[in-house]
Amino acid sequence: MAKRTQVVIVGAGPSGLLLGCLLDRAGIDNIIVERQTKDHVLARIRAGILEQTSVDLLTSAGAGARLAAEGIAHHAVNIAFDHKLVSVPLGATTNGKVVTAYGQTEVTLDLYNLRAAGGSQTIYSAGNVEIHDFDRDWPFIRFVNNGKAEEIACDLIAGCDGYHGVCRASIPDNAITTYGQVYPFGWLGLLADTPPVSTEVIYANNDRGFALCSMRSMTRSRYYIQCNPADNIERWSDDAFWDELRRRLPPETAEQLITGPSLEKSIAPLRSFVAEPMHFGRLLLAGDAAHVVPPTGAKGLNLAFSDIYYLHQAIESFFANNDIAALPHYSQQALARVWKTERFSWYLTNLTHRFNADPFEQKMKEAELDYITASPAGRLMMAENYVGLPL
């Protein structure tokens, strides 16, 4: 007889792992199937800024201890433009809400360890994952485990399998609408064991292109520069990266930059993408499976976690009250926040990058940057979005 669980979660990225941990706490059986190996999933390097709601959610899931000890609170965000560096305060205008610097790699490890301690099953290296009958009352998945075909029957399937996953792709085309755009530039990122140049993140709009200074700890820095998405990473030596970064920062910041050998260097494309609805029958999409934001503003992980906040509530209501309406309701609730966060990520990307040589557009951007850093209303808009809109 096929194995059975209440919820199959496809994907062991941050979305799938957090959902699994929250369902465990609610006493709802779940199994995660993940295409990659555990080591591959735990080695991925991504953004590192958590909204307070993400911190609270990780804490309520039981994965907040190391974050509380090692996360670094940021009380401001810096914007560099027109040869100056301006600090926008966060907590002062948002009832004390701030953001916390803590890498997604660490978040994933903490969730992995929590799940491992709880004993719920995660099947890594699952081949050819297929989802079936999610438009009926008896969904199941089929996959290859250690060379053998397996099936797991369930009540619900959570599609937490990222942008390239199988879940969204399995929904009939006429039941889902997708929106999005690909930006004509990428980000070249570098991680190094050097002290960060600034105690808080700097977003720089410069003639030579965008640059970002971030951190993982007081001894580990993360920097990015806007680049051609088709660039060959081999052509970017560490020295070339540091030289270009220095040129894009205000001189007094550039002078303080401490460089060192890269631990990792990679180029990522930038896209905005939303699929709606995020629900089809007994399949529920969450995180990158349903939407992607460009990394400007560091919303990807946070948006995935707000989905999981709504989703775990919907799943609990579904099982506690036999409430099938909780499933479409999840999609509506999640999308309302998704679109606003998509807007902010798109806005901040357009505002801070150089990709259109039109001098008028650049003047408009400079005026807008001046407005959001100098006017109390502008600063409030920036701070309220940066710390994360309420759930």
Per CB under 6 A, residues contacting ligand PHB are 47-49, 201, 212, 214, 222, 295-298
CB under 5 to 8 A by kind: which of ligand PHB, ligand APR, none does 165 bind?
Answer: ligand APR
Minimum distance from residue 131 beta carbon to ligand PHB (Å): 31
The residue count of the chain comes to 391
- As to burial, measured by CB atoms within 10 angstroms (0-12 exposed, 13-18 middle, 19+ buried), residue 261 is exposed
Q: Using the rule CB under 6 A, is 166 a contact of ligand APR?
A: yes
- For the record, the structure tokens of 189 come out as 């990122």
Q: Which of residues 7-36 bind ligand APR (CB under 6 A)?
A: 10-16, 33-36
Active site residue 295: yes
Q: Is 289 left (phi over 0), alpha (psi -120 to 50) or beta?
A: alpha
Rounded (10°) angle between helices 52-61 and 104-118: 20
Angstrom distance (rounded) from CA 285 to CA 330: 10
CB under 5 to 8 A by kind: which of ligand PHB, ligand APR, none does 312 bind?
Answer: none
Active site residue 224: no
CB under 5 to 8 A by kind: which of ligand PHB, ligand APR, none does 209 bind?
Answer: none
Active site residue 386: yes
Angstrom distance (rounded) from CA 137 to CA 23: 20
Select which of 102, 183, 203, 330 is catalytic.
203
Range in contact with ligand APR (rule: CB under 6 A) among 39-47, 230-238, 310-318, 350-358: 39-47
Amino acid at 103: G
CB under 5 to 8 A by kind: which of ligand APR, ligand PHB, none does 41 bind?
Answer: ligand APR
Q: Using the rule CB under 6 A, is 282 a contact of ligand APR?
A: no
What is the distance of C-alpha 68 from the center of its chain? 20
Q: Using the rule CB under 6 A, is 160 a contact of ligand APR?
A: yes
Coil, strand or helix at 183? strand
Active site residue 328: no
Please identify every residue annotated as catalytic: 74, 203, 295, 299, 386
